[in-house]
Structures are given as structure tokens and as C-alpha cells.
Amino acid sequence: MGEQQFLQLLVTQLQNQNPLDPVDNTQFIAELAQFSALQQEQANGQIEQQSLVEDQSQRALALDGHTITYSTGTSTLTDVVQGQAIAGSSVELLLQSGAAISLDSVLSSN
């Protein structure tokens, strides 16, 4: 649930509460605490993902210009790394042959 959805739900809950039996402050604070924990968890996940991409980028840069052996799943090939590209949440190696491969498929490098 995103921030906007949570706030919409909270406003709806407050608008539709029974005026003779309003939401307990303790319950209200507990809901806010849960939302805060969710936001923190999402922020931590984004930081971890960014760190992972940075680590992969450094590994990929170290292979630039090197001859690598990599697996396609069905065969093993050799090619020269000519660059890197970020593809979603991972780093791909751009090869001399024009192929783009996952950094995880590299078996060895010279």
C-alpha cells in the first residue's frame, strides 16, 4: 500500500467513524506507526537495491576491455567487453559481438 492509498483510507475511516464511538487514539497511533514502519522498510529496500546496482557497476567496469567467457545457458562463449548498461535493477555487459549479457553469466575473465 502506498502513501496516497494509506492517507485516503485514513481519511475515509475518520469521515465514516461513529461520532458516539470515535476511533481510539491508541489504535490510531498504532496505524500510523505501522505506516511509518512500512515507509522505512521501503526506503531500506531502495537503498539496498541502489547499493547492489553500484556494486555490479564496479564489477562491470573492472571487466571493460577484457576477454570474458560466459554461459548462455545452452553454450559457453568468449567475447570482449566493450561497455556496460543498466537494465532495470541490474547491470549488463555490452560485448564486441553486439550482445548484451547479464553480469551473472560471466564464468571467467582474462
Grid cell locating 13: 475511516
Q: CA of 90: how far to CAs of 11, 76, 78, in Å? A: 39, 21, 21
Q: How many domains does the chain have?
A: 1
pLDDT in tens, 71-103: 988 999 999 999 998 877 788 999 999 999 988
Phi, psi torsion values for 109, nearest 5 degrees: -140, 155
Whether the CB-CB separation of 108 and 69 falls below 8 Å is answered with yes
Q: Please check whether residue 71 lies inside any domain of the structure.
A: yes
Q: What is the pTM of this model?
A: 0.58
93 within domain boundaries: yes
Q: Which domain holds residue 65?
A: 3-13+25-109
Domain-located, residue 20: no
pLDDT, tens digit, for every residue of 54-70?
Answer: 888 888 888 999 999 99
- In-domain check, residue 18: no
Q: Are 56 and 91 in contact (CB under 8 A)?
A: yes
Give the residue with greater pLDDT, 16 vs 70: 70
